[in-house]
Structure 1
Amino acid sequence: MSYQIDDPTTFGIGGYANWLVGGAVGGAIGSLLFGAILWVMDPSIITDAIPAIYGLEPIGTAGWLFHLAHGLVIGAVFGLLVTRGPILGTITADVETGFLSAMGPGLRLTLAGVVYGLAIWAFLPVIALTLWTTIGGAADPGFPGLALESLTGHLLYGLLLGALFALITDMTSEIETVDAPFREADDSPRTESRR
């Protein structure tokens, strides 16, 4: 790899379960930001709609607890995914794309978080929740899966998750040893044109 590992990913928690800590902390804090956005837009999403997904009546802080638990688990899954060889190799690969090749692993992990937030939005509130409420016979929880605040909240959640994961988790040894699952830019053969 042609870039130096001189960004925040070198100053974090190392060890076997570093991905779990980084993902869980990033996910919990990201869900707080997302929850704050929902709270400002429509507090009933947190207080009523989230407990209604599980068939519960609105009870105190149950909506916040569910929302934080969702963020923590989804963040831990992000940590697990981005530390596996093929995905980490793809994220940190040396590529010919100008703006990507100039980025260090910390920024690439942050962008991976944004993509992950978009994927979570597409899968959970848009597809899974819709199926849950129609096929499962559950009452409509009223969660605006396709609303702009839901998309914005998931993107900001992913941004904060990826950035905090990059800050919290020491990925130095993993990044130095991982191979890209495809041919990297500086490994590609150079062919001269024939006349």
Structure 2
Amino acid sequence: MASKIQTEAERIAGEETVREIETSERTWTGAALGGLAGGLVFGLLLQSLGMMPVIGSLYGMESVAVGWVAHLFHSVVFALVFAAAVVRTDYRDAEPARVAALGAGYGVVLWLVAAAVVMPLWMSAVGLAAPAIPNLDVNSLVGHVLYGALLGAVFAFVRRR
């Protein structure tokens, strides 16, 4: 009897481990896909404004291609941070529309910190003409909100599948 109970407990523990691994994979996959989706849409806005070479310049090369690679890399990294924060809250299993709204708020925070302060400091540090701090550019705000909303929606959708 004790052996049968132990075997059942091991089976249940194994199923829980498999569920945790699947959830973890969906979390990080959803974050990466959400970051890429939001990054692509935001990147198209940046491209239309002629900003991609500036982003490339942050890495020493005034290039549209380098700008895109850097921008998408940042998009995925910030998405992973978003996912790590969300899964520790009550929003971890929320509807995609709700997580999209949370993502839009995250986009505003990124705009205030990364775009308004960090980017001008970084531009100045690498010898580029930098805007005043804080750089409260409305186009940048729109792009960051779009990025965050798409990130949140895709992230939640992938986690729920």
Give the TM-score, by structure 1 length.
0.63
Q: Which letter does structure 2 place at the counterpart of 1:76?
A: L
Aligned mates of 2:99, 2:144 — CA distance in 1: 16
Structure 1 residue 56 corresponds to structure 2 residue 45: no
Structure 1 residue 20 corresponds to structure 2 residue 11: no
Q: CA deviation at 1:128?
A: 1.0
Structure 1 residue 140 corresponds to structure 2 residue 144: no
Q: Which letter does structure 2 place at the counterpart of 1:138?
A: G
Q: CA deviation at 1:130?
A: 2.4
Q: Deviations over 1:120-169 (max 9, x none)?
A: 111101011223334x3632267x94221111000000111111111111
Q: Deviations over 1:79-125 (max 9, x none)?
A: 111001xxx22x47xxxxxxxxxxx5332211110111111111101
Q: Which structure's relative contact order is higher, taking Cα pairs within 8 Å and 6+ residues apart?
A: 1
Q: Which letter does structure 2 place at the counterpart of 1:123?
A: V
Aligned to 1:36: 44
Find the partner of 1:78 among 82, 94, 108: 82
Q: Compared with structure 1, are the counterparts of its residues 21 and 148 closer, same or farther at alpha carbon in structure 2 (3 Å cutoff)?
A: same
Aligned to 1:125: 115
Q: CA deviation at 1:65?
A: 1.0
Give the TM-score, by structure 2 length.
0.75
Aligned mates of 2:126, 2:100 — CA distance in 1: 38
Native 8 Å contact 1:117 1:158 kept in 2: yes
Which secondary structure does the structure 1 equivalent of 2:152 belong to? helix
Residue-pair matches, total? 139
Find the partner of 2:51 among 45, 49, 55: 45
Aligned to 1:10: none
